[in-house]
Chains A and B, each alone.
Chain A
């Protein structure tokens, strides 16, 4: 019987982009238990509903996280709009879909870069981030912000995209797709990368379901779960196809994200082809009175925004259940029984976003 050791991992660790801490109980090189602890970046954003009215809260929701900032404001706006029974103009819905999919593209490319960095591929990391820059430039041109877009508002969107700009975006996405193709062959076929990912961090379909996995983590284990098929925003008019893999290991999760990136580019093309003319926002007359659960698909999985209003300018309750939070139990399960050297890879393939988790 080997001696048990506790190895602290995080909150500051070279492979972790965000602060999460694990106490890894090890026997030799094997991990027998992992105890997570979070709350290093808690900011109390949900409580701000008492101080800022429901229109300003969009900007607070926007700042919950950097990578999925647009998705948070989208989820929040959707919830408030449902409560207030507002019919958002079609064009605004399409524009939201466009930005949401662009967010997914940039988040997944960023993840590929960070993952490459974790298994020691510095150059691949740089290449990925160079490609991501193109998407950020599109954001800056169309919304005015590179990371925090601030473009969603209750009742519509703030900025319109002209037909020429849209064509420009599509042209740039074609080039991006070509470059990405080249990059992704490395991720999919490289011997060393496969060696680090295939068979590592396996989670079965049943476990993924019982532990409440969402997003790429669930889809990599064969669960067909994609909130976009609920048909919020303009997804009801587009052909959304959940990217499901059956591997259940780190490699499958990597594949799901790569395939989703290409699918997102395809969805943007579809949305650009179908986008109708018309107004982009509505004037608000009322205040929200009621409650609603809004479910949308973030790059990391399903996010739930719960909003409760009592008819005044200030909301009563705002709660966000983020995908990382529901993936943590699965993360623990996967970590048990793995090797110490695989821990960074396993944690990264879950794509944890701690800023979201703690708000």
Chain B
């Protein structure tokens, strides 16, 4: 027991002092999907592949939309995208207080208008 106590006293906490010290993600961490809307051709492959129907692509008004609460961060859309305009970011999507704020819409005319 003495050994465990000394070890614990000397080694410091095993947990991360969160707001003070940010968590470091690995390069592979699946956090959230980002889109480079200027490269997108609105083929809709990502929305058809998505296992949770989180992505909606509207060709007419050139709009790409993702519901971050539905998205299961499986990376399938990133893999299938023919123009490679989708990317997986390491940071997790931020928490939200109501469901509509998690829907992220991007249009070609007005860039990155998070609604």
Contacts and interface: CB of A to CB of B under 8 A. Distances in A.
B75 A144 contact: yes
A276 interface: no
Contact of A145 (B30, B49, B51, B76): B30
Nearest to A133: B14
Contact of B75 (A56, A60, A142, A158): A158
Contacts of B28: 140-144, 159
A162 to B, nearest CB: 12
A96 interface: no
A212 to B, nearest CB: 33
Contacts of A148: 72
Given A130-B14, A144-B75, A150-B74, A60 B51 contact: yes
A57 to B, nearest CB: 8
A123 B49 CA distance: 46
A215 to B, nearest CB: 28
B58 interface: no
Contact of B74 (A59, A130, A141, A159): A59
Interface in A148-169: 148, 150, 158-159
Contacts of B30: 144-145, 150
A191 to B, nearest CB: 14
B53 to A, nearest CB: 10
Interface of B: 14, 25-26, 28-30, 49, 51, 72-76, 79, 88
A63 B73 CA distance: 12
Interface of A: 52, 56, 59-60, 63, 130, 133, 140-145, 148, 150, 158-159
A52 B29 contact: no
Given A140-B25, A144-B28, 8 more contacts: A52-B51, A59-B72, A63-B72, A140-B29, A144-B88, A150-B74, A150-B75, A159-B28
A356 to B, nearest CB: 18
Given A130-B14, A133-B14, A56 B29 contact: no
A141 B26 CA distance: 6
8 contacts: A59-B72, A59-B74, A63-B72, A130-B14, A140-B29, A143-B28, A150-B73, A150-B74
Contacts of B88: 144
Contacts of A56: 49, 51, 76
A152 B28 CA distance: 15
A153 to B, nearest CB: 9
A333 B13 CA distance: 44
Contacts of A145: 29-30, 73
A159 B30 CA distance: 12
Contacts of A142: 28
Contact of B51 (A59, A130, A141, A158): A59
A251 to B, nearest CB: 22
B74 A140 contact: no
Nearest to A148: B72
B70 to A, nearest CB: 13
Contact of B29 (A59, A144, A158): A144
Contacts of A140: 25-26, 28-29
Nearest to A62: B74
Contacts of B49: 56
Contacts of B75: 144, 150, 158
B52 to A, nearest CB: 9
Contacts of A52: 51
B99 to A, nearest CB: 20
A44 B29 CA distance: 29
A130 B28 CA distance: 22
A140 B79 CA distance: 19
A131 B34 CA distance: 34
Contacts of A141: 26, 28
